[in-house]
């Protein structure tokens, strides 16, 4: 059986291409990967990204975000509340969750906000100066010999 290494392709997508993740997994399905809570990944700028996680019913105190090495982990666990009424139907999920995202090299978490039941995590890709493209000037030997005596004396 032939296996393919898609690692070089992840670098150009900042680690967030679901199609490549599906191709990389056997059978092309998520299998045992949890699907709760749902999330979106958006590109908001040339080097800026946003992960939006649907966390309806969770307060800011119920959520935690941890960035360690190249992994972003979002956890949620609702605090037990005093029952004030009898619940006839429970359709809003209240279960604890943990969702992890593999970040590509040089991607950093810039901040997070909770707005209308969506947790937005802002990411930015910061390339080190040594990895940024730079222009190399081209000189020719004939231009080096055209210096005047006044330029040499100065």
pLDDT of residue 143: 54
pLDDT of residue 27: 40
Among the residue ranges 3-7, 59-63, 78-82, 103-107, the one predicted with the least confidence is 3-7
* Burial group, residue 154, by CB count within 10 angstroms (0-12, 13-18, 19+): exposed
Say whether pLDDT at 139 is over 70.
yes
Q: Where are the beta strands (DSSP E) in 55-144?
A: 63-68, 71-76, 97-102, 107-115, 118-125
What are the helix (H) ranges across 68-119? Answer: none
pLDDT of residue 23: 41
pLDDT in tens, 14-28: 545 544 454 444 443
pTM score over 0.85:
no
pLDDT of residue 114: 92
Residue 26, Cα to own-chain centre: how many angstroms? 23
pLDDT of residue 137: 85
Kindly list the structural domains of the chain, giving each domain's residue range(s) and its CATH number in brackets, ordered by start: 34-127 (2.60.40.790)
Distance separating alpha carbons of residues 16 and 95, to the nearest angstrom: 26
What is the DSSP-derived secondary structure letter of residue 12? H
Among the residue ranges 19-33, 91-105, 111-125, the one predicted with the least confidence is 19-33
% residues pLDDT > 90 (the chain): 21
Among the residue ranges 8-12, 73-77, 113-117, the one predicted with the least confidence is 8-12
Among the residue ranges 9-18, 28-37, 43-52, 135-144, the one predicted with the least confidence is 9-18
């Amino acid at each position: 059986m032939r296996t393919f290494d898609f690692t070089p392709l992840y670098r150009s997508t900042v680690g967030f291409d679901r199609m490549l993740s599906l191709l990389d997994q056997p059978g092309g399905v998520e299998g045992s990967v949890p699907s709760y809570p749902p999330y979106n990944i958006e590109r908001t700028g040339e080097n800026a990204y946003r992960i939006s996680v649907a966390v309806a019913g969770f307060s800011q105190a119920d959520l935690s975000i941890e960035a360690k090495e190249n992994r972003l982990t979002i956890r949620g666990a609702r605090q037990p509340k005093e029952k004030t009424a009898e619940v006839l139907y429970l359709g809003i999920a209240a279960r604890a969750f943990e969702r992890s995202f593999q970040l590509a090299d040089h991607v950093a978490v810039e901040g997070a906000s909770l707005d209308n039941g969506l947790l937005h995590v802002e990411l930015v890709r910061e390339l080190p100066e040594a990895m940024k493209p730079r222009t190399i000037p081209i000189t020719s030997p004939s231009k080096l010999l055209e210096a005047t005596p006044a330029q040499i004396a100065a």
